[in-house]
Amino acid sequence: MTEAGASAGFSRNAAKVLRRPLARAEAIGLICSTYLGEVDREDLLGRVGLAGYASASGDLPDEGGEGRVPRCSRTSSQPVRDPQLVDRIKVMYGHACQVCGARVETQHSHYSEAAHIRGLGGPYHGPDRLSNLLCLCPNHHVEFDRLAIYIDEDWAVRRNSTGDIEYQLKRHTDHAVDQQYLKYHRGLCGRG
């Protein structure tokens, strides 16, 4: 590269063009799809300060608190989530939602969210363990967190507003969901 006289950075004109948001987005998209097809785009763009370009909607939503968005802990008692546990449950279910079975597709992979049944933070102080986790699609994660659905003693997923059974919870043989946490969640749902 020295022999070729290579230098880093953009030409003045290119830099000017790249100041335009659309051009910048197009350039990043083109570079990623042309040269970086197999690269974890979210991770890469996050590391170079361009996290918002990892999805069409901009900054990716927080995956129930255990996403890749860096966050600072406010106090020493802030719950710590184990990212390996999150990965484990997602891999176990192949990113398929335990409620509806949907696998949300991304360009090169799939997307799912690891939901704590009994929340880690106060006032819940639930444990960070596999038996307190579910692999959910974003919609059902929100519905579960916002108490629109709950899971009964027979693993039926019920709509809280009606009590109607909508699904049967899918459970992997290596995943022992602890009913005590679901019971806690049912309590929050007013179904205790």
The correct pick among 100, 104, 147, 189 for binding Zn ion (CB under 5 A) is 100
Stretch that binds Zn ion, among 64-72, 83-91, 137-145, 171-179 (CB under 5 A): 137-145
Task: Pick the closer one to Zn ion by CB: 115 or 137.
Answer: 137
Q: Does 151 bind Zn ion (CB under 5 A)?
A: no
Distance CA(165)–CA(142), nearest Å, equals: 18
> Minimal distance in Å, beta carbon 89 to Zn ion?
14
> Minimal distance in Å, beta carbon 44 to Zn ion?
28
Number of residues that bind Zn ion (CB under 5 A): 6
Q: Does 140 bind Zn ion (CB under 5 A)?
A: yes
> Minimal distance in Å, beta carbon 99 to Zn ion?
4
Q: Does 99 bind Zn ion (CB under 5 A)?
A: yes
Site residues for Zn ion per CB under 5 A: 97, 99-100, 102, 137, 140
